[in-house]
Structure 1
Amino acid sequence: MVKEESKRIAIVIFGALLNAIALNLFLIPANVYASGFTGIAQLVSNVLGEHTPIHISTGTLLLLLNVPVFFMGWKMVGKSFTIYSIISVAGTTVFLGFIPLQELSKDILLNAVFGGVISAVGVGLTLKFGASTGGMDIVAMVLSRMKDKPVGTYFFSLNALIIFTAGLLYGWEKALYTLVTLYVSTRVIDAIHTRYEKLTAMIVTKKSEEMKRAIHARLVRGITTVPAKGAFSNESRDMMIMVITRYELYDLEKIIKDIDPQAFTNIVETTAIFGFFRKS
């Protein structure tokens, strides 16, 4: 457990480093904005610096914006999930303070694309290892537990606000390049992990009882077991079907590898659920 947790923390810190590199070397110098709370922090920092005598760095604002979200996540999502989010945001803030704000390229399109890709790799790796980058991840978890509805609308609304504000303040060309960054980020995160909030796992195994006990020890999820038979081997197995959130995928993969490395698992993106889905 210590080894696994250390590995997860290392990945979270590495993801924070990548996010800081994307911001200070590509996005901030080009006035191109990231998605979610990071993009809001960029916008507010720019507005304060240009129109008021107050200057607050993007990293500091990112941390301040996340403070109320951390309290909400601690109470409504879970302590472990929130702790990883705090490490991620704090790491990004620290790295933003150490990495120099430097423009590597004058080409705004290169900045938008490379900034989006590097940031998305950090986010995707963080999600893949069962952690979170804070901000909208926690808000999405809370909203999905309150309403059990897709949270894509909330992500889209927040990012649309960022793009519209960037267009009003700095010209619509900047807004369009921000849209390029958001598109690239989404595609890369999809490739590394998934943007879907819920996933369906279908596990074909000979060790269904052991698997069930191990899953229930770590995850509070219902499981439907269906008898199955291998078409080639004619061996009897069980197919376990369960719906999880994307943040539980890492723990589920670890359980399957520990209990039955020979199990066949199919992960399907779930767009909607009708019926009971435990939210705690």
Structure 2
Amino acid sequence: MDDLREKLTSNEYTTKLTVALLYALFASVALNVFWRPGNIYASGVTGLAQIITTLISSGTGKEAPVSVIYYLLNVPLFVLAWQRISKKFTIFTVITVTFSSLAIQLMPVTPLSTDPIICAIFGGAVNGFAVGFALKNGISSGGLDILSITIRKATGKSVGSIAIIFNGMIALTAGYLFGWPFAFYSVLSIFVSGKVTDAVYTKQKKMQVMIITKKPDQVIHCVQERLRRGITIINGAEGAFDHHKKAVLMTVITRYEMHSLEKAMKEADPKAFVSIADNVTILGNFYDPGM
């Protein structure tokens, strides 16, 4: 049993490290292939690092590396993540930010296009996919992701929508300092990035599940074995066609848990009727493991 637990833990860490490395590569592509060649200010702390770098260059005539500023800005957010989210989450966030800083520094600025609209759309899409992919696998890209997750846990708002608000403020600051046309392109990129993040990071989307079954005990056992979810039982339901007695089970899961639910139902009662309402609003307690 201990060997199995160690193996699972080892596989989890290997997966997270791989995801962190892939995120770093995608993030560096978004920045050095699309955003910087198109004079687009990135989302999150990366965009803030670009603003600070531009101000330093304008004031001193010397170029400060974006990667170093990006890492330094993340340090206080590591403390917030350690206190408000989880220690394991913070450790992998530090690893991800370190990988990202190295990738940004090592990858040369390689313009595929200087058209600001193309750079805004494709840069936002690549970055949004990277952020959503990282969050879906239980790690953060650092920066405003940490603030977004903290606020989401308190308010229930989606990560992408929260990020759009924060990043809109960064784009407006960039526009005020360096010119409004490119600020508008940056807003476009931030919007695309936020929407792609929400599309990929499905863990935050709630789904109401209604199960009509003749085997409620088996279904409850299999579902709760795979998912940490409460289930409400309504006994005494009757089928209109055959008038057999059935039970109605109701629960709420996240879209991320859909595959686990399907496996549980196939094992417990493949003939059960399952109805799912997508993207429901929840009031009251709902277990969210966060990261």
TM tier relative to shorter chain: 0.7 to 0.9
Q: Which residue of 1 aligns with 2:279?
A: 269
Q: Which residue of 1 aligns with 2:157?
A: 150
Give the 5 Å matches for 1:251-262: 252=257, 255-256=260-261, 259-260=264-265
- The 1:226/1:136 distance shift into structure 2, 3 A limit, reads farther
Q: What's the TM-score once normalised by structure 1's chain length?
A: 0.78
Q: C-alpha deviations, 1:220-244, integer Å up to 9, x for none?
A: x644455688999989576441356
Q: 2:219 aligns with which of 186, 189, 207?
A: 207
1:113 aligned partner, one-letter code: I
Q: Any idea what the Cα deviations from partners look like across 1:102-146, whole Å, max 9, x if unmatched?
A: 32322222211221121122122223323322222221232344x
User: Which residue number in structure 1 is paired with residue 3 of structure 2?
Assistant: none
TM-score (norm 2): 0.76
Within 1, Cα distance between the matches of 2:169 and 2:88? 31
Q: 1:114 to 1:198 in 2, by over 3 A?
A: closer
1:276/1:257 CA distance change after superposition, 3 Å: closer
For 2:220 and 2:239, the matched residues in 1 are separated by 15
Aligned pair in 2 of structure 1 residues 106, 200: CA closer, same or farther (>3 Å)?
Answer: same
CA shift, 1:95, in A, is: 0.6
Q: Which amino acid aligns with 2:221?
A: E
Query: What residue in structure 1 maps to residue 109 of structure 2?
Result: 101
Q: Is contact 2:164–2:194 with CA below 8 Å preserved after alignment?
A: no
Q: Kindly, what percent of the aligned residue pairs are identical?
A: 30
Residue 69 of structure 1 is matched in structure 2 by 77
Matches within 5 A, 1:19-34: 19-34=27-42
What is the RMSD computed on CA atoms of the aligned residues? 3.4
Report SS of the residue matched to 1:187. Answer: helix
Structure 1 segments unaligned to the other structure (5+ residues) = none
Structure 2 gap ranges (5+): 1-7
Q: C-alpha separation between the residues in 1 aligned to 2:100 and 2:223?
A: 37
Match of 2:191 in 1: 183
Greater Cα offset, 49-58 or 234-243: 234-243
* Cα shift at 1:52: 2.9
| Matched residues, number | 268
Distance 1:35 1:229 in 2: 54
* Paired residue secondary structure (1:202): strand
After superposition, the Cα gap between the structure-2 partners of 1:214 and 1:28, relative to the gap in structure 1 and judged at 3 Å, is same
Could you say what secondary structure the match of 1:105 adopts? coil
